[in-house]
């Protein structure tokens, strides 16, 4: 298929057909009520799965556009561990929305507009509006640590409901939170602890095939997937050491030659090397070392003298296992080439172990090692059991993805939107209702932003079963207390707002940050609907070391020393699962687009806002009510914070992961818009190797 710049109708329809084919596969298993999909691998293995990434990777894709989409999904899943099915649905929504856009505005022009809109407008809307609706995984004090644990467990439970069947998701959800809480028992899970769990996940879990799922558990210490080369019981309370090379010294040093002129000299050389091994093992025993861990295979003389000195040996450990052991214990490995100095080695080269014993998992025997660990990490190991290999692999993949998601949720997500610390909000919209203060004190989960009394009178009552039009929905969820005078002050034309299309063409920002501490909104404007004393949870003042996306090149040169505030999604920000993020962002995008009529901003806002509703629409497709009615009720609950009451019961989802999903989909969408030519090939091109040698060159 060939296409000129601008992606004609034929190219758009082909991309949409490919995306809809993938959507038809993953949409049936979306949400907690989704059905599994039967996957058959090339080797003939059949397995039912609800994991979107697993299903997409099991497909045999011939079309290059399909391979591009699945590659983007894999990159996003590898970073956040979440959102494979929502990725396809959201991308299909964007491709369908292109039908309403004139052909002359598509292609690379729209791709550039999307990139500019994301950096200059979308980041600002998320940073300034969503924090007032979000909940936090972090407890305000130690007395509420249990509340934080319940919130994190609710986040994990909602994650596994979309990936595992009803027979395994509850057990794996409890197991995952038990694992995380045991590894960080003092202050709860932190991003550093979750980073270690994600980085060394393969070394911190073991799978056993052929056992029931109920046999899965979390054990104290580490399980090394090797058997003892030498096992001597009674090592509890003693010390361990790590070597990265052979303990037996070489017969000749590097760069020299060993001249063997007789068998007697050869035997004498081997005896001297063995004697040095015996001396080294004796020195380890004198320092109370009863376990020697090695990254290479040790020879028979080393094992012989270790057995004589009562030292257990575990060799052939992987570099990742050695790295984890050194990181957890904080020790340094012994140098195998300096065995004469082992008795003078510092105390930091050995560590105390609680126990060291064999562990039988199925038909294999492993080494179970108990370690005290560090302050921020208590070593524990997850054992996942399953009746067949495929199911066990799914459990391992889901658990790994949950740790990625949890780590991403507990890490602040930096945005490109910047401001200079003024209280004016250049992205505030005139129809932004404020959530009321909940009666009865604090909520179960600490809100991210202060909740203030909502202005205006109460919402007029309406029968929820009656049909609701789309335009009426937007009017209903907006603040009815805004008078005509206030709306006049919020009119973009009266406030001197520029057309964003002209700003893009002139390399000017959509939201300009003034040097005098004010924005393009006049001082004292009430457009925001939120007072200026509202806490800014999504920012901190700092000196920016990177260029501001919202400034032109001339402003960046002139304001190189200006102090700006960076915006970010606060760590631990969550929303009730089921579409609150999409409905909230849909509301704020449409409100923002009303400020700029007949412009590219209106086009981009409508495109993204309508595509966002694809996810909650698919989640509620099995319900009896029409989606407009569900959207109307859900929007009111989300905007007025009424959905927080049952947030822990229904489940939570990460705001950072949801916005990262939107950003990744927009990136993939711009890739599809920028395609000029697609060439079909029957097989992958082989790399060309240069046969010329270095001497010939």
- Per-residue pLDDT tens over the stretch 207-223: 999 899 999 999 999 99
**What mean pLDDT is predicted for residues 48-60?**
87
> How far is Cα 161 from Cα 175, in angstroms, rounded to an integer?
14
> How far is Cα 210 from Cα 229, in angstroms, rounded to an integer?
26
Decide which of 508 and 260 is more confident.
260
Q: Do domains 1-106+661-683 and 222-251+276-370 have the same CATH topology?
A: no
Q: Please determine, for residue 558, whether its predicted confidence score (pLDDT) is greater than 50.
A: no
Find the range with the poorest average confidence among 242-256, 426-440, 515-529, 571-585.
515-529
The secondary structure of residue 298, as a DSSP letter, is P
Helix (H, G, I), strand (E, B) or coil at 102: coil
Residue given tokens 């950072």 in the structure block: 656
> How far is Cα 628 from Cα 612, in angstroms, rounded to an integer?
14
User: What pLDDT score does 270 carry?
Assistant: 77
Is the torsion defined by CA of 464, 469, 474, 475 positive or negative? negative
User: What pLDDT score does 339 carry?
Assistant: 55
User: What pLDDT score does 416 carry?
Assistant: 64
Q: Please determine, for residue 228, whether its predicted confidence score (pLDDT) is greater than 90.
A: yes
Going by C-alpha positions, the residue among 220, 228, 206, 243 that lies closest to residue 357 is 228
- Per-residue pLDDT tens over the stretch 489-520: 334 333 333 343 443 334 333 333 333 333 33
Which two structure tokens, joined as six digits, stand for 556?
A: 């960046």
pLDDT-derived band at 623, boundaries 50, 70, 90: low
- For the chain, which residues make up each domain, given as ranges? 1-106+661-683, 109-137+413-650, 222-251+276-370
> How far is Cα 543 from Cα 562, in angstroms, rounded to an integer?
7
The secondary structure of residue 209, as a DSSP letter, is E
**What mean pLDDT is predicted for residues 290-299?**
91
pLDDT-derived band at 594, boundaries 50, 70, 90: confident
Percent of the chain with pLDDT over 70: 63
User: What pLDDT score does 472 carry?
Assistant: 39
> How far is Cα 581 from Cα 653, in angstroms, rounded to an integer?
9
User: What pLDDT score does 628 carry?
Assistant: 55
> How far is Cα 372 from Cα 364, in angstroms, rounded to an integer?
26
- Per-residue pLDDT tens over the stretch 428-450: 444 444 444 443 333 344 433 33
Beta bridge partners of 334: 243
Output b/e per residue, 93-102; b: 16+ Cβ within 10 A: bbbbbbeebe
User: What pLDDT score does 640 carry?
Assistant: 59
Mean pLDDT across the chain = 72
Is residue 210 within 8 A of residue 300, CB to CB? The reply is: no
**What mean pLDDT is predicted for residues 67-88?**
91
Find the range with the poorest average confidence among 7-11, 489-493, 575-579.
489-493
Find the range with the poorest average confidence among 43-57, 336-350, 474-488, 659-673.
474-488
Q: What is the CATH number of domain 1-106+661-683?
A: 1.10.560.10
User: What pLDDT score does 400 carry?
Assistant: 93
Is residue 102 within 8 A of residue 603, CB to CB? The reply is: no
Model pTM? Answer: 0.73
Find the range with the poorest average confidence among 179-188, 350-359, 666-675.
179-188
**What mean pLDDT is predicted for residues 340-355?**
71
Neighbours of 575 (CB within 10 A): 25
Q: Please determine, for residue 92, whether its predicted confidence score (pLDDT) is greater than 80.
A: yes
Q: Please determine, for residue 577, whether its predicted confidence score (pLDDT) is greater than 70.
A: yes
**What mean pLDDT is predicted for residues 594-620?**
83
Calculate the alpha carbon distances from 677 to 16, 82, 102, 355 in Å.
16, 31, 21, 63
Q: Please determine, for residue 24, whether its predicted confidence score (pLDDT) is greater than 70.
A: yes
Q: Please determine, for residue 191, whether its predicted confidence score (pLDDT) is greater than 80.
A: no
Q: Please determine, for residue 575, whether its predicted confidence score (pLDDT) is greater than 50.
A: yes
Return the CATH superfamily for domain 222-251+276-370: GroEL (3.50.7.10)
**What mean pLDDT is predicted for residues 386-413?**
89
Going by C-alpha positions, the residue among 410, 414, 412, 411 that lies closest to residue 567 is 414
Helix (H, G, I), strand (E, B) or coil at 136: strand
Find the range with the poorest average confidence among 39-53, 173-187, 511-525.
511-525
The interaxial angle of helices 84-97 and 64-80, nearest 10 deg, is 130
User: What pLDDT score does 380 carry?
Assistant: 93
What's the CA angle centered on 555, arms 554 and 557, to 5 degrees? 65
């Amino acid at each position: 298929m060939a296409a000129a710049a601008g992606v004609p109708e034929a190219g758009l329809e082909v991309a949409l057909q490919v995306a809809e084919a993938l959507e038809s596969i993953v949409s049936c298993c979306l949400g907690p009520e989704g059905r599994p999909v039967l996957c058959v691998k090339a080797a003939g293995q059949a397995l039912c799965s609800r994991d979107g990434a697993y299903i997409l990777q099991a497909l045999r894709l011939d079309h290059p556009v399909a391979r591009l989409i699945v590659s983007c999904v894999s990159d996003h899943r590898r970073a956040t561990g979440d959102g494979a099915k929502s990725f396809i649905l959201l991308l299909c929504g964007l491709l369908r929305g292109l039908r309403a856009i004139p052909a002359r505005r598509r292609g690379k022009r729209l791709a550039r507009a999307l990139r500019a809109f994301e950096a200059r407008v979308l980041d600002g809307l998320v940073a300034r509006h969503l924090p007032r609706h979000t909940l936090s995984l972090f407890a305000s004090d130690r007395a509420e640590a249990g509340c934080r644990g319940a919130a994190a467990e609710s986040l994990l439970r909602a994650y596994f409901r979309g990936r595992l069947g009803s027979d395994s998701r509850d057990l794996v959800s409890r197991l995952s939170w038990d694992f995380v809480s045991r590894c960080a028992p003092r202050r709860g899970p932190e991003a550093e602890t979750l980073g270690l769990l994600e980085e060394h996940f393969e070394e911190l879990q073991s799978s056993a095939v052929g056992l029931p799922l109920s046999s899965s558990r979390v054990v104290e210490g580490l399980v090394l997937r090797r058997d003892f080369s030498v096992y001597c019981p009674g090592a509890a309370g003693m010390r361990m050491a790590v070597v990265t090379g052979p303990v037996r010294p070489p017969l000749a040093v590097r760069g020299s030659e060993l001249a063997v002129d007789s068998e007697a000299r050869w035997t004498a050389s081997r005896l001297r090397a063995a004697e040095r091994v015996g001396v080294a093992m004796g020195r380890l025993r004198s320092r109370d070392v009863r376990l020697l861990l090695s990254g290479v295979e040790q020879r028979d003389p080393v094992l012989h003298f270790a057995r004589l000195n009562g030292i257990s040996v575990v060799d052939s450990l992987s570099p990742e296992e050695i790295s984890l052991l050194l990181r957890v214990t904080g020790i340094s490995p012994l140098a195998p080439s300096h065995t004469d100095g082992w008795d003078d080695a510092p105390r930091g080269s050995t560590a105390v172990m609680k126990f060291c014993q064999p562990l039988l998992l199925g038909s294999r025997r492993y080494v179970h090692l108990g370690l005290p660990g560090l302050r921020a990490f208590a070593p524990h190991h997850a054992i996942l059991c399953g009746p067949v290999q495929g199911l066990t692999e799914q459990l391992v993949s889901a658990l790994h993805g949950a740790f990625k998601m949890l780590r991403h949720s507990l890490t602040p997500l930096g945005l490109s939107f910047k401001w200079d610390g003024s209280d004016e909000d250049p992205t505030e919209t005139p129809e932004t209702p404020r959530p009321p203060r909940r009666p009865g004190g604090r909520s179960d989960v600490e809100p991210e932003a202060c909740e203030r009394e909502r202005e205006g009178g109460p919402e007029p009552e309406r029968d929820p079963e009656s049909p609701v039009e789309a335009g009426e929905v937007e009017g209903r969820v907006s603040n009815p207390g805004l008078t005509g005078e206030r709306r006049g002050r919020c009119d973009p034309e009266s406030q001197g707002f520029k057309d964003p299309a002209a700003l893009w063409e002139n390399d000017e920002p959509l939201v300009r940050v003034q040097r005098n501490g004010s924005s393009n909104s006049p001082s004292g404007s009430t457009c925001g609907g939120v007072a200026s004393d509202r806490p800014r949870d999504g920012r901190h003042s700092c000196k920016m070391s990177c260029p501001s996306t919202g400034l032109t090149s001339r402003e960046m040169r002139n304001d190189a020393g200006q102090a700006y505030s960076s915006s970010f999604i606060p760590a631990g920000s969550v929303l009730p699962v089921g579409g609150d993020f999409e409905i909230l962002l849909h509301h704020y995008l449409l409100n923002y687009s009303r400020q700029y009529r007949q412009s590219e901003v209106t086009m981009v806002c409508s495109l993204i806002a309508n595509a966002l509703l694809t996810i909650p629409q698919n989640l509620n497709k099995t319900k009896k009510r029409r989606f407009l009615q569900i959207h109307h009720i859900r929007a009111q609950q989300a905007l007025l914070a009424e959905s927080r009451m049952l947030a822990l019961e229904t489940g939570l989802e990460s705001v950072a992961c949801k916005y990262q999903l939107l950003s990744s989909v927009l990136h993939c969408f711009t890739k599809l818009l920028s395609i000029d030519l697609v060439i079909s090939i029957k097989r992958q091109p082989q790399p060309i190797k240069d046969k010329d040698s270095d001497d010939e060159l």
